[in-house]
Amino acid sequence: MSTYVFSEYDIGNGNFASDEKNAVSFTISTERGFMDMNKLTTLTASDEGPEVTLTLDWKKKTMDIQGVTKPMADVRRKHGGVFSL
């Protein structure tokens, strides 16, 4: 299992990568709005191969992965298992 480390103090803008050779690294950028609140956060795979992009819309509370949009509440939900809520 890869361990990822942020390269910047501001985790909303910067890179994070693994110490493993073939692991994918990512670039993060956050657009801020009124009163410096998060508006959109975009996470993009920065390695060769197909471009993978994830966008978090903080106001609408949605997550978009490659054009498929889901509410963040659906992503947080656990399915099955003894300790699932």
pLDDT tens, 36-65?
777 888 888 877 667 778 888 888 989 888
What predicted TM-score, i.e. pTM, was given to this entire model?
A: 0.65
* Position 28, amino acid: I
Average pLDDT of span 63-85: 74
Do 10 and 25 meet the contact criterion of CB atoms below 8 Å apart?
no
Under the phi-then-psi rule, with left for phi > 0, alpha for psi from -120 to 50, and beta for the rest, what region is 61? left
